[in-house]
Structure 1
Amino acid sequence: MPSVTRKSQSTRTQRRDDARHRLLGVVEKLLEEGESFTEISVERLVSEAGMSRSTFYVYFEDKGDLLRAWFEDITTELYGAATDWFALDASASQADLRAALDKVVKTYKPHTTLMAATYDAAAYDANVRELVEGMMTTNIAGLRKHIKTGQSGGFVDPALPAAQTAAWLQWMAERGLHQLVRTAGGAELEKLIDAYTGIVWNTLYAPTRK
């Protein structure tokens, strides 16, 4: 028989998740209407969500806490998408790389509006900024490990400095996802993925295929 305490904790978690979903829906709506996250007050959020201010503060410390709860989940999802890329080996073709990067881009694409809000919040919220920087550190470390593995295996250019190359590629991708993918759709999105694939392929893998 489940304990009352465990059931109570489960119910609270569900209520918090429901509140987060409602509030983030409001954030997305307002951002898509042209407002910035910094300008949206808690009062506005709870009003639009049909929620009391007191209920908001039961589950979240502030607007940044609302984003942090979401960001931790989405970064796990995004890193999971990147593992297909990091698992490529000497047998991988450019088409294999494109399929892996397609997964990364299309996992990110539905979340571009809230990612934009997160970057806005990171400018003034140290806790949000720490999460963003942590995400990038993790992504860079994953790619650096892949580059070193590829250099040892003979399928990544051995002349490349692994740490610096990983940092450049990941920061360029972060800006591209935020600035280019956010507004792209259809054929344009596919062209962006083609271009991303070409950059990564020619940087890492092509020199070993000659």
Structure 2
Amino acid sequence: MSADPPTPTPVPSSQQGRAYAPDQIEQLFRDALGVLMADGTPYRDVSVARLIGETGMARSTFYGYFGDKAALLHALSASTLTRLYSPQRDWLRRGRDVTRADVGEGMRRLLDLFLEDEAVLRAVGEASVYEPTIREAYVRSVDDYARALERFVRKGQKEGWVRAEVRPADTADALAWMTERAVGRVRPGTPARRLDAIAASLADVVCSTLLVAP
């Protein structure tokens, strides 16, 4: 027997019909998506009507900003994908001074960011099967990380702190998509020590693959 759908959270009447800033609207729908998908409900089964009901805003407000549910997901995913891999760029900028601890910290922050927007990213993963533009945006976000990693490798090879036998583009792609797969398997409620272990393991693979032993 299937579980009953989540009951929309009551919204104070003072919030209905009010004016919202664009970032407030996005956050309301981000939160609503998290509530409605928390029980494992697929994104395809979350209707616009349920999203609007969860936020408590007027239907006209939704359609004033988004033409449909796909447009909403585009808007939510844009900021999410932009910041998702930002922690990796912190340790990549360290260059020859990077340590395994730096990489581990970046991976741990990546896991935290993923979990903060897990519902949006799960929706993106699902919609990317049938929405080419969603898929392209998602692939581009991982590829951007891979290209930054490739630049790190090439610089390190020139300066002698990245192993000379590493193939820059292929290795960067492999490491970026390995990270994407590992992070994408994490779910809300994962214990902190398990997240620490995943981050440390990812850092071990990256550092062992790339860096010349001190």
TM-score range, shorter chain: 0.7 to 0.9
> Which runs of structure 1 show a deviation greater than 4 angstroms over 4 or more consecutive aligned residues?
none
Q: CA deviation at 1:182?
A: 5.1
Which secondary structure state, in structure 2, belongs to the residue aligned with residue 90 of structure 1?
Answer: helix
Residue pair 2:95, 2:152 contacting (<8 A) in 1 also = no
- Pick closer, same or farther for the CA change 1:185–1:86 going to 2, 3 Å: same
For the aligned residue pairs, the C-alpha RMSD in angstroms reads 1.9
- Pick closer, same or farther for the CA change 1:148–1:113 going to 2, 3 Å: same
Q: TM-score, normalised by structure 1?
A: 0.85
Residue pair 2:88, 2:103 contacting (<8 A) in 1 also = no
**Could you tell me which residue of structure 2 aligns to residue 149 of structure 1?**
155
Residue pair 2:105, 2:199 contacting (<8 A) in 1 also = no
Say yes or no: does 1:17 pair with 2:23: yes
Letter in 2 for 1:176: A
Q: CA deviation at 1:108?
A: 2.8
Which secondary structure state, in structure 1, belongs to the residue aligned with residue 85 of structure 2?
Answer: helix
Deviations 1:3-59 (Å, cap 9, x if unpaired)?
xxxxxxxxx8x5332222212211101111220101111112112222233221110
**Could you tell me which residue of structure 2 aligns to residue 4 of structure 1?**
none
Letter in 1 for 2:148: G
What is the aligned-residue identity percentage? Answer: 26
- Equivalent residues, number: 196
Deviations 1:88-117 (Å, cap 9, x if unpaired)?
322333223323333333333322222111
Q: Which shows bigger deviation, 148-157 or 78-87? A: 78-87
Report the Cα distance in structure 1 between the residues aligned to 2:138 and 2:179, rounded to whole angstroms: 14
Deviations 1:139-191 (Å, cap 9, x if unpaired)?
11111111111111111111111111111111111111110365522111111
Residue pair 2:29, 2:51 contacting (<8 A) in 1 also = yes
Letter in 2 for 1:28: G
Residue pair 1:85, 1:97 contacting (<8 A) in 2 also = yes
- Pick closer, same or farther for the CA change 1:95–1:17 going to 2, 3 Å: closer
Q: CA deviation at 1:198?
A: 0.9
More helix by share: 1
Residue pair 1:27, 1:114 contacting (<8 A) in 2 also = yes
Structure 2: runs of 5+ lacking an equivalent? 1-18
